[in-house]
Amino acid sequence: MVTLDLPEKPGRPRSERAHRAVLEAVDDLLVDEGYAAMTMKGIALRAGVGRQTIYRWWSTKAEILLEACVEDAREELHAPPCADPSDDLYAYLAVLTHFLTVSPAGLAYRALVGEAQHDPAVRDLLQRADVLTPSALAVLDRVRTVAPDMPENDLAVAQLTGPLLSRALISPGPLSGELLRVHAEGLLRAWAER
């Protein structure tokens, strides 16, 4: 019998423990202390990890944030399809609001959007790995049949998610569920056959 060893590199292998610890430390710090207090030193300390280890695997704080939120985001932004288009949109708006205003992953996402305003590199990073768009497109595709006048994706996504996102970025509380329902129905009327 032949043993099929993977051609492992020499030396000590990457510590998955350290990897996870960093991502969790970022989430924790973000929730406990806020973004401003979240320094590289602090992350390393909280994670029980050497500072150099962080720089070895991520170039910038933004990359850590992105990795810290992107997986959770995919999961949290999945709304189960509903038969009724209004319900479908509403369900999505509800999970989106939850993500943006409650979830630690959403907190990381907002921090990332914030950093993007200060640093073009982060802006690029955020555009290449957009967190919201795929889930929004999935919903739009489902309701497209009953929304024949839906504009091109660019605008439709902005109309769907923009009000919630800008609200989450600027105002203190989330839009109420009732208003989310109003928004969903407004979109359907706007996109209905003329």
Partner DNA sequence: ATTTAACCGAGACGGTACGTCTTGTCTTATA
Partner DNA sequence: TATAAGACAAGACGTACCGTCTCGGTTAAAT
Q: 138, exposed or middle or buried, with CB in 10 Å at 0-12, 13-18, 19+?
A: middle
Considering only residues 49 through 108, tell me which ones interact with DNA, judged by CB under 7 A: 49-53, 55-57, 60-61
Using the minimum distance from each CB to DNA, give the nearer residue, 25 or 136.
25
Using the minimum distance from each CB to its own copies, give the nearer residue, 82 or 116.
116
Measured torsion, CA atoms of residues 99, 135, 87, 103, in degrees rounded to the nearest 10: -10
Considering only residues 103 through 132, tell me which ones interact with its own copies, judged by CB under 8 A: 110-111, 113-120, 123, 126-127, 130
Q: Which of 138, 139, 137, 163 is nearest to 152 (CA)?
A: 137
Based on the shown chain and the rule CB under 8 A, indicate whether residue 66 belongs to the binding site for its own copies.
no
Q: Which are the contacts of 136, defined by CB distance < 8 A and separation ≥ 6? A: 92, 96, 157, 160, 161
Q: At what angle do helices 104-116 and 153-170 cross, to 10 degrees?
A: 100
Based on the shown chain and the rule CB under 8 A, indicate whether residue 84 belongs to the binding site for its own copies.
no
Q: Tell me, what DSSP letter sits at residue 132?
A: S
Based on the shown chain and the rule CB under 7 A, indicate whether residue 144 belongs to the binding site for DNA.
no
170 binds, among DNA, its own copies, none (CB under 5 to 8 A by kind): its own copies
Q: Which one among 34, 48, 81, 148 touches its own copies, defined by CB under 8 A?
A: 34
CA 121 to mean position of chain CA atoms? 18
Count of chain residues binding its own copies (CB under 8 A): 45
Q: Which long-range contacts (CB under 8 A, 24 or more apart) does 125-130 make?
A: 125/62, 125/63, 125/66, 126/66, 129/66, 129/70
Note the residues at the interface with its own copies (CB under 8 A).
34-36, 110-111, 113-120, 123, 126-127, 130, 151-152, 154-155, 158-159, 161-167, 169-172, 175, 179, 182-183, 186-187, 189-192, 194
Contact residues toward DNA (CB under 7 A) are 5, 8-15, 17-19, 21, 37, 39-42, 44-45, 47-53, 55-57, 60-61
